Structure 1
Amino acid sequence: MTTLSPENSVSARRSASFILGLHPFVRTEAWKFLTGYYSWQSSQDERLTVDSKRRKNYEALCQMYEKILPLLENMHRNFTETRNNIAYDIQRLYDKDPLGNVLIDKKKLEKLLLLSYVCNTKAEYQQGFHEMVLLFQLMVEHDHEIFWLFQFFLQKTEHSCVINIGVAKNLDMLNRLISFLDPLFAEHLKGKGAGAVQSLFPWFCFYFQSAFKSFDDVWRLWEVLLTGKPCRNFQVLVAYSMLQMVRQQALLESMSGDAILLACFRLIDLDADQLISSACMVYAELIQKEMPQPLKDFFL
């Protein structure tokens, strides 16, 4: 039997989470490794120490937030506007299941989003974060775990879902990818479909949440993004695969940009494993070709 080195063992575990997916029973703990909350090489005692440190750091941030809250309210107009936006977004969330059982704590969610906005000056707050943090709240129990998992998730995915950081680049690379792999469709999009691709920004801002039929499917895709396999910026290959689902109809019916966009946003109840498989096939096709340098730099 071949013995794996520690480095290869870590790689094997990450690859397994990409290929097989994570069982719901292990998802909570596994996400702490995938996001970097814990080191893959850490012992149980080391993880207890790390968790204690993260809890204390979170509590310190909460205390800091309470102290500067009056200043934020009086001196920063953006804070008041953002707090109102967060409250509005959260109010629209369903907080109960069909049986009337409460699923989420909206007050807790609002607190976490405000704290993230104040502490994460790079990402700030944008519509969609409320639904993303909701999924973390459903996954883990404690406030400090929710907060740090969300922060590490943004960092691990290179802030690619943030409008003023990664979304525009994703859309640009999606356009380049279509031009490289599907010139016929690219030509159509430049004509009647002008602007359609640029209008797909909600896919990236929400990380495709609206396209799936269950939270498990969303987590499944996000887990793949966290592994960095089969390549960096896999989310763009996912978006390309979804566009291919409407391609034939768009060409046959000579659809306008608005019609293409509507068809794209009607893609719901997708199966994550099937979509991931389709995106992997796109990657396999991509690496067989001589990619232009911007695509190489982006994916490899």
Structure 2
Amino acid sequence: MKKMPIDKAEWEGYFDESGHLVKSRDFISSNILDRGLDPAVRSEAWKFLTGYYSWRSSHDERLTVDSMRRKSYQALCNMYNKIQPLLETEHRDFMQVCSFINSDLQRLYLRDAQGYAIVDKKQLEKILLLSYVCNTDAEYQQGFHEMLLLFQLLVEKEHEVYWLFQFFLQKTEHSCVVNIGVGKNLIMLKAVIAFMDPIFAKHLEGKSRVVQSLFPWFCLFFQQVFKSFDDVWRLWEVFLMGMPCRNFQVIVAYTMLQSVRDQILRENMGGDDILMVCGNIIDLDADELISKACSMYKLLMEHKDKVPDELKEFFLQGDP
């Protein structure tokens, strides 16, 4: 039976009259992992999950922080407007990124039940370009426009969209940013398969590009495999809370692979067929995937004394 998510009344009960947290972060993290957040809570809760607000802040302090972030965002926009002509004439990479973003946004199509567009593409373009200019580590990659869309749908104010996206990237760069963490995730996914399922690992031998070709799962942070945006938010908020372990995204990917493992072995599939089957893993339910992935992690930890050191370090130690 599906558990009821944390609703607005329960969320507000986590804070006292001054807005200070009265529950422990572990308590909140466990409940988010187990039950998730009601959609009515997400716009506020995600400001804590991403680091936009400090968990130790009061209501008045959060008002001050929000004002500061709004002013900082406006200052960044003013700076960008001043240097944009120089970027357009002197930096070929900038114009190439502009082209990539424009192409990605052209393919983005989302309307409400009445047929009205609910995507502000101009705002998405502005924030993506500003993010690219201000964040030298996380270069623009395909999929960022779809990630950013979820923040545009989550909160109303432009500065909130920008900062939530920035803090999200900072917290997840070792999971979904190509030039920072995706390669490591693929290496560790292969290591998990080798330890947890030697028979499957043997079948994948000589098909090394199979695991490497699963990089879209990480780059797009599993957006494409779910039924709805609510499912994506549900999984992402678990990642943000860092439970049941760090780098849980690799356990999630392994769990998804296990869902087609028997078919792959039974039909003795080659690399291309395996990738086709993996590409057809769609319309998943986030609660079910999280539950199965938690079970997989529990199974891994049952053999903790035998788990290779590289896996222990990857899943159990503090933030990288």
Please show how residues 5-16 of structure 1 align to structure 2 within 5 Å. Answer: 9-16=24-31
Measure, in 2, the Cα distance between the counterparts of 1:50 and 1:282: 39
Unaligned runs of 5+ in 2: 1-20
Aligned-residue offset at 1:98: 5.0
Matching residue within 309, 314, 320 for 1:293: 309
Q: Is the 8 A contact 2:192 2:311 kept in 1?
A: yes
Matching residue within 74, 81, 84 for 1:69: 84
RMSD: 1.4
Q: Is the 8 A contact 1:213 1:268 kept in 2?
A: yes
Q: Is the 8 A contact 1:86 1:113 kept in 2?
A: yes
Residue matched to 1:91: 106
Range that drifts further, 227-236 or 95-104: 95-104
Quick check: 1:282 aligned with 2:296? Answer: yes
Measure, in 2, the Cα distance between the counterparts of 1:291 and 1:207: 26
Q: Is the 8 A contact 1:18 1:224 kept in 2?
A: yes
Measure, in 2, the Cα distance between the counterparts of 1:120 and 1:269: 33
Q: Is the 8 A contact 1:33 1:39 kept in 2?
A: yes
Measure, in 1, the Cα distance between the counterparts of 2:299 and 2:203: 22
Residue matched to 1:204: 218
Residue matched to 2:5: none
The C-alpha deviation readout for 1:18-40, integer Å capped at 9, x for no partner, is: 21100011110000000111011
Whichever residue aligns with residue 196 of structure 1, its letter is V
Measure, in 2, the Cα distance between the counterparts of 1:197 and 1:244: 13
Measure, in 1, the Cα distance between the counterparts of 2:196 and 2:22: 35
Measure, in 1, the Cα distance between the counterparts of 2:58 and 2:189: 41
Measure, in 1, the Cα distance between the counterparts of 2:36 and 2:43: 13
The C-alpha deviation readout for 1:84-134, integer Å capped at 9, x for no partner, is: 000000000013235311111011110010000000111020000000000
Q: Is the 8 A contact 1:132 1:206 kept in 2?
A: yes
Whichever residue aligns with residue 212 of structure 1, its letter is F
Summarize the Cα distance change of 1:123–1:58 in structure 2 as closer, same or farther, 3 Å threshold: same
Aligned-residue offset at 1:140: 0.4
Measure, in 2, the Cα distance between the counterparts of 1:141 and 1:159: 28
Matching residue within 193, 203, 213 for 1:178: 193
Quick check: 1:127 aligned with 2:142? Answer: yes
Measure, in 1, the Cα distance between the counterparts of 2:297 and 2:181: 20
SS at match of 1:148: helix
Please show how residues 1-150 of structure 1 align to structure 2 within 5 Å. Answer: 9-97=24-112, 99-150=114-165
How high is the TM-score relative to the length of structure 1? Answer: 0.96
Q: Which runs of 4+ in 1 moved over 3 A?
A: none
Unaligned runs of 5+ in 1: 1-5
Measure, in 2, the Cα distance between the counterparts of 1:269 and 1:240: 17
Measure, in 1, the Cα distance between the counterparts of 2:288 and 2:173: 25
Residue matched to 2:4: none
Measure, in 2, the Cα distance between the counterparts of 1:69 and 1:296: 46
Aligned-residue offset at 1:168: 0.3
Measure, in 2, the Cα distance between the counterparts of 1:98 and 1:245: 33
SS at match of 1:197: helix
Aligned-residue offset at 1:157: 2.0
Whichever residue aligns with residue 120 of structure 2, its letter is D
How high is the TM-score relative to the length of structure 2? Answer: 0.90
Aligned-residue offset at 1:14: 2.1
Quick check: 1:152 aligned with 2:167? Answer: yes
Measure, in 1, the Cα distance between the counterparts of 2:186 and 2:174: 14
Residue matched to 2:244: 230
SS at match of 1:230: coil
Measure, in 2, the Cα distance between the counterparts of 1:221 and 1:59: 31
Measure, in 2, the Cα distance between the counterparts of 1:154 and 1:19: 24
Q: Is the 8 A contact 2:138 2:173 kept in 1?
A: no
